[in-house]
Amino acid sequence: MSATDLTDLGVVEAAGLIAARKLSPVELTEACLARIEALDGKVNAVLRLLPERAMDAARRAEAEVARDALRGPLHGVPYALKDIIDLAGVPTTGHSQIRADAPPATAHAPVADRLERAGGICLAKLSTWEFAVGGPSFDLPWPPARNPYDLERTPGGSSSGSGAGLAARFFPAALGTDTGGSIRNPSAACGVVGLKPTYGRVPLKGVLPLSTTLDHVGPMTRTVADNAAIFEAIAGHDPDDPTSAAVAPQNIGAALGKGVKGMKIGVIRHFWERDGIAEPEVAAAMAAALDVYRSLGADLVDIELEPLPNYVACLKPIMAGEAYALHRRILATSANAYGALARDRITAGASQTTAEYLDALEVRRKLEAAYRQSMQGVAAALTIVTLAPPPRFDDAEGLARSFSLEGRPPFNIIRAPALAMPMGATKTGLPLSIQVVGHHFDEATVYRVAQAYEAETSWTERKPPL
């Protein structure tokens, strides 16, 4: 294979070829590093490239293959981490001046440790919005990531480098985090697959927090099967993490390929037809995607959740209150070291009362209970990720909209699994995305529903014109 062909490989395919001794982990890692070196000057997805670490790991992986001593299902497969996730021996900057000189992390975050134990090879730490909230920003030590489909447009946030790097074929897998949509927004903007798991399914320990009751870590890949493989590697209870849920794992792989014939699937139509009005190309793509599901034998039924603005109104005081509590001491002495957007968004919690925060928590409890009621009788549901394609960096109004009334925040409040995946493109080639959501701790059905659509379409095969 040429170097370009190697960087097109996904997680499952690469792992299979390595296990069969048809692909060298060294050659695959070299190809990914070379592509990053050649193209990241345009994309800005990478904050810290780790070539020596990655090549050492690749050589070890290759020697282990020769001894029939594969470490796990991801043996020899490259991945990258959003730079709010700890990797031992490497600083975690949060894309902030405040942590630009942070010492190296002393231990892996559990999610990074699980990927390493499964045989993964970390290539890089990736761009993010500052502390996963302030962006896209041009007043930080590193520039913001750009969208490989149009370099003048945002790749979404806050897991911006994860989405942009995947689309650019820098690596086949990455981890992102999602507090109000920060895995699903860049997944939608960059035409990749991203899962926000059920809250508690994946440990948060070793990840810079933004809002500890809303934060989620999840996988980002280019296909559904690849996403499921990374999810299975990182999911599971961590007794040292108070946010981690002690629930039995699912056999995700067994759910893939079963299709959706006879499955009752909800459609949360009012999110894009009443609560917010989707741009025509988004609405048309949603209609076409629903037709695909009907052609596959799914029984689609409209379901009603609470109005979309109710979730946004609930999320903002929780996020602002928790973020301000985490940052207040640094703000007291070093407020000017933050970028303007992060500072403004975090300090929004300063004037908030305890009563307002507690009221929002009670509203969240009711919204989650209402969701469980609305989902009775359906296996999963479909809705939008965004109301519009990714905006340009110079479109202040579009950037503001993408941070507020969208289809992502409800599922952080509800804390149920939600997956974004490609469903088409605009006339100018920008990615469009559909969201599959499910019952708490039922990621298997979400993946099943998503994979059925992916198998019938070719949207996950699209590549940006880099």
Tell me if residue 158 is catalytic: yes
Residue 383 belongs to some domain of the structure: yes
Q: For residue 210, give the 3-state DSSP assignment.
A: coil
pLDDT at 1: 74
**% of the chain with per-residue pLDDT over 70:** 100
Residue 466 belongs to some domain of the structure: no
pLDDT at 403: 72
pLDDT at 401: 79
Two tokens at 425? 């493109």
Please determine, for residue 295, whether its predicted confidence score (pLDDT) is greater than 90: yes
3-state SS string for 103-144: CEECCCCHHHHHHHHCCCEEEEEECCCECCCECCCCCCCCCC
How many domains does the chain fold into?
Answer: 1
**Residue in 24, 96, 137, 182 annotated catalytic:** 182
**DSSP code, position 276:** S
Two tokens at 374? 């609305």
Domain holding 235, by residue range, is 3-461
pLDDT tens figures, 438-449: 999 999 999 999
pLDDT tens figures, 401-431: 777 779 999 999 999 999 999 999 999 999 9
* Residues 216, 455: Cα–Cα separation, whole Å: 27
Tell me if residue 82 is catalytic: yes
pLDDT tens figures, 144-154: 999 999 999 99
| Beta strand pairing call for 380-384 and 418-425 | unpaired
In terms of pTM, does the model score above 0.95? yes
Tell me if residue 127 is catalytic: no
Residue 148 belongs to some domain of the structure: yes
Tokens 């911006």 belong to 160
Give me the mean pLDDT over the 14-41 stretch: 98
pLDDT at 405: 74
**Residue in 82, 125, 205, 316 annotated catalytic:** 82
Two tokens at 107? 């231990």
pLDDT tens figures, 156-165: 999 999 999 9
pLDDT tens figures, 243-287: 999 999 999 999 999 999 999 999 999 999 999 999 999 999 999
**Residue in 24, 137, 158, 159 annotated catalytic:** 158
**DSSP code, position 432:** E
Two tokens at 4? 């370009």
Residue 448 belongs to some domain of the structure: yes
Nearest CA among 102, 137, 122 for reference residue 208: 102
Give me the mean pLDDT over the 172-198 stretch: 98
**CATH value at residue 281:** 3.90.1300.10
Residue 325 belongs to some domain of the structure: yes
Residue 280, burial from CB neighbour count under 10 angstroms (0-12, 13-18, 19+): exposed
Tokens 């090879």 belong to 121
Across all residues in the chain, what is the average pLDDT? 97
